[in-house]
Amino acid sequence: QVQLVESGGGLVQAGGSLRLSCAASGRTFSSYVMGWFRQAPGKEREFVAAISRSGGNTYYADSVKGRFTISRDNAKNTVYLRMNSLKPEDTAVYYCAADQSISVSTQAERYDYWGQGTQVTVSS
């Protein structure tokens, strides 16, 4: 089992940057695929980015490709989401999630553990 705690959210102007962090408990962090999802008010939770267990493969939603970067540090049990060129439509609660599967998925149902979320608000 793993517990996830996100941090780094906040209020930023359009065009600005933020870096989200997700710290995981336990000694098996490197055995989990990690993902970031977001949910805006009145909308369904959507995939943002995911990273393989080794960090060698990354996947992005089209809406954030080229602006967001997911990375992980298995020695620190932490996954990051660097967000550049933020837009008002990026406003949402951002969640990190852990998946025990071997392959990377963009489907929220595949992820076994979730953090509590961190709010990102982008003003225009």
Tens place of pLDDT per residue across the chain (124 aa): 899 999 999 999 999 999 999 999 977 999 999 999 999 999 999 999 999 999 999 999 999 999 999 999 999 999 999 999 999 999 999 999 999 998 999 999 999 999 999 999 999 9
Identify the pLDDT of residue 26: 79
Sheet containing 78-83: which strands, arranged edge to edge? 4-7, 18-24, 78-83, 68-73
Contacts of 71 (CB under 8 A, 6+ apart): 51, 55, 58, 79, 80, 82
CA distance 50 to 124: 27
Q: How many helices (H) and strands (E) does the chain have?
A: 0, 11
Whole-number pLDDT of residue 104: 95
pLDDT of residue 50: 98
* Mean per-residue pLDDT of the chain: 96
For residue 78, what are the CA distances in angstroms to 8, 48, 72, 74, 91?
13, 17, 6, 6, 23
Q: What is the pLDDT of residue 1?
A: 84
